[in-house]
Amino acid sequence: MAAGTMTGAESVLRTLSAGGVQVCFANPGTSEMHLVAALDRVPEVRPVLALFEGVASGAADGYARMAGIPAATLLHLGPGLGNAFANLHNAYKARTPMVNVVGDHAVAHAPLNAPLASDIASVARPVSHWYASARDARSAATEAAAALAAARGRGGGIATLVVPADAGWETSAGPAEPLPVAPPAAVPQGAVEAAAQALRGGRRSALLIGGAATRGRALRAAARIAAATGARLLHDTFPARLERGAGVPRAQPLPYLTELATEALAGLEHLVICGTQAPVAFFAYPGRPSRLADPSTAVEVLAGPREDVAGALEALADALGAPADAPVEDAPRPAAPSGGPLDAVAIGAAVAALLPEGAIVVDESVTCSAPIVAATAGAARHDWLTLTGGAIGQGLPAATGAAVACPDRPVLSLEGDGSAMYTIQSLWTQAREGLDVTTVILANRSYAILDFELARVGAEATRGPAADALFGLGRPDLDFVGMAAGMGVPGVRVDDARSFSAALREALAEPGPRLIEAWL
């Protein structure tokens, strides 16, 4: 097709492709048919079908966290975006680069209140750092270039571009040139000096790292600073991508529970924020603080989420005269349990022992997470992806996307049974694409965290059958092995530690998706 007869849809897709987009996680409908046709003309962009839009958005999140470049999603009007919303929220909080392409009614059709007409902008805005609706086929490619630049620039973010059906089917002016991508903003020299001042002199201090600071150059610079000053190295409770394991500098997680987090931060004279924000409680509780740092602690922001935290940490390390490399003391690696009951500690030990070098772990194990995190500090080097926005149902999709991004790295998906059910359709995409994902369902047959939280908010006095009904996942028990088989993923249920170790060893050794239902 010559440029003069290229559709708007094809011009959008070619623009995204020219700007580096290689994968489109899609669940299209009629209003996106010209975008589907464009995918057949632009084979550089790989379409990956999701059977539910929350799988598409969560996969795009997991993909970009690992690939470092945005994926596109292809979604069907307001309701498709609505289905994608929860995992877009998680990606928004992680500042994952992503371009959502959302179809809409033809411009003249939109005001007529057809069944699928809705206010897409209103749904999009809470989860979009950038938003536009293309006016017509001639401007759609230019909007796509702007969307991609917004997704990639200044530390990354979610760009949502609505493409009305006629902007897709009419004739375009051809693809648009990619726009320059703005690098993360440099922090002012004064911020580096203030942080250096705070950390000098042996006072009790800590660095809190998040965003881009939990891996690579930034993490190594943070470790140099900690080694030179004695400052503690803490990371956000829910990092987007944490590098850890053997040979990697170690940071301690800021605990989830308000009381443990305030304890971890108690008595600090200085807290230096690196790539994230000052720590706040996940939820408010009656009589407990929302801000976690002690009021007497001086909080210095070295770099926020959109700033060049790696550069700032390196400048700070140099300013403090830190050694060029900090020594890394590996945590002990437990042995895989060969007997005993199956619980989170046993699972953590098995994972620590068996995780292959270079694995990617996606952790949505909720109440089981803390013991597993503790046990795996000494595992072989790996990346650890967590639930950045608190909207459960992110784990299975993110694992799916991470596996698309890194076909040569095994993915381990640690998933609560309650959380798994939000986006269980992910398993089918894993089967279709032959992705090397091992899913471990931590099946305690309850929303265990809610029972725990009921007491913490002071509402346990009236606990009765309604809470039982709403917190329990029994009556009937879920059979994840059966559901996985129904979507083409082989699985096994285990209920003791020895069997779990054996099943995990086997699943990690085999290519393609596997599921282990760990019956706790």
418 to 457: interface string for its own copies, x by CB under 8 A:
x--xx-xx--x--xx----------------xx--xx-xx
Please enumerate in sequence order all residues whose Cβ is within 8 A of that of 130, keeping only pairs 6 or more positions apart, or say none: 146, 147, 150, 151, 157, 158, 159, 160
Nearer to its own copies (CB atom), residue 443 or residue 497 = 443
Q: What minimum distance in Å lies between the beta carbon of 82 and its own copies?
A: 3
Q: Output the DSSP codes for 360-413.
A: EEEEE-GGGHHHHHHHGGGSSSEEEEE-SS--SS-HHHHHHHHHHH-TTS-EEE
* Strand 242-244 to 205-209 pairing: unpaired
Q: What's the residue count for the chain?
A: 520
Scan residues 53-72 and list those touching its own copies (CB under 8 A). Answer: 54
Binding string, 85-114, against its own copies, x = CB under 8 A?
A: xx-xxx--x-----------xx-xx--xxx
Contact region for its own copies (CB under 8 A) — 81-89, 175-183, 334-342, 350-358? 81-89
CB closer to its own copies, 79 vs 178: 79
- C-alpha closest to that of 514 among 438, 412, 447: 438
Provide the angle, in degrees to the nearest 10, between the axes of the packed helices 309-319 and 189-199.
Answer: 50
Rounded-to-integer distance, Cα 484 and Cα 365, Å: 18
Rounded to the nearest whole angstrom, what is the least distance from the CB of residue 5 to its own copies in the complex? 11
* Of 3, 125, 335, 338, the one binding its own copies by CB under 8 A: 125
Instruction: Say whether residue 127 binds its own copies (CB under 8 A).
Output: yes
- Smallest distance, its own copies to C-beta of residue 511, A: 16
**Smallest gap, in angstroms, from Cβ of residue 284 to its own copies?**
4
Nearer to its own copies, 471 or 500 (CB): 471
* Shortest distance (Å) from residue 413 CB to its own copies: 18
Site for its own copies in 152-211 (CB under 8 A): 165-166, 169
What residues between 34 and 53 interact with its own copies by CB under 8 A?
34, 36-41, 43, 47-49, 51-52
Residue from 22, 186, 250, 282 that binds its own copies (CB under 8 A)? 282
Least separation in angstroms between CB 465 and its own copies: 7
- Between 165 and 379, CB nearer to its own copies: 165
Q: Residue holding tokens 């369902």?
A: 441
Q: Which residues of 301-315 are buried (b: 16+ CB within 10 A; e: fewer)?
A: bbbbbbbbbbbbbbb
Sole residue written with tokens 């017509």? 136
Residue 309 half-sphere exposure, CB side, CA atoms within 13 Å?
A: 27
Closest distance to its own copies from the beta carbon of 481 (Å) = 8
Q: Which of residues 454-513 bind its own copies (CB under 8 A)?
A: 454, 456-467, 469-470, 473, 475-483, 485-488
Amino acid at 214: T
**Nearer Cβ to its own copies (220/514):** 514
| Residue number with CB closer to its own copies (383 or 417) | 417
Q: How far apart are CA 86 and CA 390, in angstroms?
A: 9
The radius of gyration computed from the CA coordinates of the chain, to the nearest angstrom, equals: 24
Beta bridge partners of 291: 280
Nearer to its own copies, 47 or 178 (CB): 47
Among 66, 123, 360, 366, binds its own copies (CB under 8 A): 123
Token couple for 372: 């597993």
Residue 179 neighbours by CB distance under 10 Å = 17
Of the candidates 127, 12, 19, 23, the one whose C-alpha atom is nearest the C-alpha of residue 67 is 23
Query: Is residue 396 near its own copies by the rule CB under 8 A?
Result: no
- Partners of residue 439 on adjacent β-strands: 413, 515
Rule CB under 8 A: say whether 79 interacts with its own copies. yes
**Beta carbon nearer to its own copies, 149 or 240:** 240
Q: How far apart, in whole angstroms, are the C-alpha atoms of residue 488 and residue 48?
A: 16
Write down the least CB distance from residue 488 to its own copies, Å: 3
Among 20, 116, 179, 374, binds its own copies (CB under 8 A): 116
**Angle formed at CA 435 by CA 432 and CA 436, multiple of 5 degrees:** 145
Residue 281, beta-bridge partner list:
none
Cβ at position 422, least distance to its own copies in Å? 5
Phi then psi dihedrals of residue 391, to 5 deg: -90, 100
Site for its own copies in 314-373 (CB under 8 A): none
* Whole-number Å distance between alpha carbons of 450 and 55: 24
Residue closer to its own copies by CB (options 238, 500) is 238
Q: To the nearest whole angstrom, how small is the minimum distance from the Cβ of residue 275 to its own copies?
A: 15
Could you tell me the smallest distance in angstroms from the CB atom of residue 299 to its own copies? 13
Region binding its own copies by CB under 8 A among candidate stretches 225-233, 239-247, 360-368, 387-395: 387-395
Our CB check for its own copies shows the closer of 127 and 411 to be 127
Of residues 227-246, which lie at the interface with its own copies (CB under 8 A)? Answer: 238
Spatial separation of the C-alpha atoms in residues 350 and 368, rounded to whole Å = 14
Token code pair at residue 69: 């470049």
